[in-house]
Amino acid sequence: MRPHTPRVVSVIVGHPAVWFLARLALRGAYLLGGLTKLTDWQGALAEQAHFGVALPALSAALTIAVELIGPLLILSGQLVWLGSGMLGVFTLLAAIVANNFWAMPEGQDRFMAMNAFFEHIGLIGGFVLVAMLADRRER
């Protein structure tokens, strides 16, 4: 027999405000990143150049769009699957570009990049879970 979730925990995690705040916490960094890049275009271009991205202006514009539209879809409760998918794919690509630990020599930088890479993979799992929960809530 499996133990059941305590009632107080069920009440807390089932509250609509907690559902919203959890989605905001998972997406907040993307909103902030998108707004920061939008208000500092030169900084956004410099970031793309730092990572050696081809077509930095196009890439910066797409990054801003994904970082703003994805979270807004998720927070609005509309097309949560699309917003989560956008951020999941973006996060995977960003992790590969920015945290390519497999191409680094042994040492502290590689260790930090590896940790950051797998943290990003964890975020992707969070995006999938939010899409799954949103789908269940819609039914």
Query: What is the model's pLDDT at position 14?
Result: 87
Question: Domain for residue 2, yes or no?
Answer: no
Task: Report DSSP letters for 55-118, one per residue.
Answer: SHHHHHHHHHHHHHHHHHHHHHTSSHHHHHHHHHHHHHHHHHHH--GGGS-SSHHHHHHHHHHH
Tell me if 93 is assigned to some domain: yes
Task: Supply the range of the domain harboring residue 65.
Answer: 7-138
pLDDT at 1 over 80: no
Predicted confidence (pLDDT) per residue in 87-130, tens digit: 999 999 999 999 999 999 999 999 999 999 999 999 999 999 99
Model pTM? 0.86
Domain count, the chain: 1
CA dist 73 → 16, 128, 135 (Å): 17, 14, 14
Give a yes or no: residue 1 inside a domain: no
